[in-house]
Copies of this chain bind each other. A is one copy, B any other.
Amino acid sequence: MGTEALLAELREALGKDAVLTDPDITHGYSRDMMPLAPAGRPLAVVLPADVEGVQATVRACAQAKVPIVPRGAGSGLSGAANAIDGCVMLVTTKLDRILEIDPANRLAVVEPGVVNLALRQAVEREGLFYPPDPSSYDWCTIGGNLSTNAGGLCCVKYGVTTDSVLGLEAVLADGSLLKTGRRTVKGVAGYDLAKLFVGSEGTLGVITKATVALRPLPQAPGTLVAGFATTEAAGEAVTRVVREGLVPSLMEIMDATSIKAAESYLNTDLGAGSDCQALLLCQSDSGGEAAQRELAALEKICLECGSTMAYATDDLAEGKMLLETRRVVLTALEQYGIWLTDDVCVPRTRIAELIAECRRISEETRLRIAVVGHAGDGNMHPTIVYAPDSEDEFARARQAFDDILAVTMALGGTVTGEHGIGKVKREWLEREIGPVGLRVHRRIKRALDPDNLFNPGSMFSR
């Protein structure tokens, strides 16, 4: 089947409006938010509105031997959803129904195009909580969250996306519909295919439905902010928090560069003093006296580790404002240029070393690097700033990006904590998992997708 015949078949199956081929329009779907990852030109963008439309697209593309790149909202940071030349971009945003919320069994059944925030708000009305909260939660979709096994600020207490998934439906390379997992809390009937598909970055099939576990809505959080004169002291505080068995609902770290950027952007003074090299932001959502006890214990540890400023509040607006300084960092860095954010995870005891290494890399590459991250789980986002029109700075930014990955591996960490491998870290996957791991990946890919239909060349090459 030629491409014209394919397009005709897709239009026939999905309707004309669901098949876009105007390059000016399809170009807008060809990239996610990771500037380093390559992106090709799609043959077409299709927007099926139901599972049958997804199956028809998969069958038609399989027959025409045209690769499919599944894509949600495009908020990804690894290029996993970037186009490859001549592909069909299968965009799942029209599959956007919340099919069921079952409060008595604490679960929801959703289509992949549901925006994370929409699900959060819908279940909150039932007194329930869907934990995964990537920074893009107000526009990223559940389908993308599943495909990347997205994390967020909640992970230190509530885990990542895979921890909330009970069951999945996915369209396979032959167009058949795999139903895997369950609606029950526990279940061990067969291989855990749901957790295999979570984080597989669109290389094994197209997720069309998910059953997710919900939690009781936590209490309104109390917030602690603590400033440190050295990153080592802040790192020591994180280690002590973990060691002493505390589980805050949020524990974020900002280095000096991040603090300055946020203060400048928000035109505020965080009161940390000019010698502040690191901030820790912690929350407890345990409510009432339990939260007060947790925050007091966190504050005590910070002070014992030499915090020069520690301030706790149970005022919600104030807590939100403090958290805002963390949330704006990437936007704030746009004062200085374009940002390129990395995503690594180190053992929680090695955070200060990672920040020190990032400072060294910043000096070597002569680029601003701000480190923010989820201190509670060691997932750091060193963010490199470069000038938009300088090829030289772009090349140095790319160097810094890779140097940070090498440093992370030397610290016993992983090259991606929550953003994924995608099209930007392919060679790093092999470095991390080794030849045996890569061989298993290839065998599983070949077993489920023998003709390399789904997102070929993403994550790893066949």
Contact = CB atoms under 8 A, between A and B. Distances in A.
Interface string A277-301: 0000000001001100000000000
A443 B242 CA distance: 42
Nearest to A413: B184
Contacts of A163: 159, 163
Nearest to A345: B184
A189 B433 contact: yes
Contacts of A245: 127-128, 216-217
Given A185-B348, A196-B191, A178 B436 contact: yes
A414 interface: yes
A433 to B, nearest CB: 6
A325 interface: no
B377 A189 contact: no
A440 interface: yes
Nearest to A379: B186
Contact of A441 (B172, B190, B440): B190
Interface string A236-258: 00010011111100000000000
A206 to B, nearest CB: 14
B105 A347 contact: yes
B441 A447 contact: no
A377 B418 contact: no
A182 B412 CA distance: 9
A191 B420 CA distance: 10
Given A187-B345, A345-B185, A162 B417 contact: no
A43 to B, nearest CB: 28
A321 interface: no
A457 interface: no
A155 B186 contact: yes
B378 A184 contact: yes
A162 B195 contact: yes
Contacts of A439: 176
Contact of A189 (B187, B244, B429): B429
A379 to B, nearest CB: 5
Given A178-B437, A444-B447, A190 B377 contact: no
B421 A190 contact: yes
Interface string A333-353: 000000000000111110000
A116 interface: no
B184 A414 contact: yes
A104 interface: yes
Contact of A433 (B179, B195, B216, B443): B179
Nearest to A438: B190
A196 B196 contact: yes
Contacts of A192: 149, 162, 195-196, 198-199
Interface in A409-427: 412-421, 425
Interface in A185-238: 185-193, 195-196, 198-200, 215-217
B189 A432 contact: yes
A2 interface: no
A323 interface: no
A462 interface: no
A443 B436 contact: no
B416 A188 contact: yes
A176 B438 CA distance: 12
21 contacts: A104-B242, A104-B348, A149-B188, A151-B186, A159-B163, A176-B436, A178-B440, A179-B436, A183-B412, A184-B379, A184-B417, A185-B348, A186-B345, A186-B377, A187-B417, A188-B418, A189-B432, A190-B429, A193-B440, A195-B195, A443-B447
Given A105-B349, A195-B195, A444-B447, 19 more contacts: A104-B243, A104-B349, A105-B242, A162-B195, A178-B436, A178-B437, A184-B345, A185-B345, A185-B379, A186-B374, A186-B418, A188-B199, A189-B415, A189-B425, A189-B432, A191-B441, A193-B441, A216-B246, A443-B447
Interface of A: 102-106, 127-128, 148-149, 151, 155-156, 159-160, 162-163, 172, 176-180, 182-193, 195-196, 198-200, 215-217, 239, 242-247, 286, 289-290, 345-349, 374, 376-379, 412-421, 425, 428-429, 432-434, 436-437, 439-441, 443-444, 446-448, 459-460
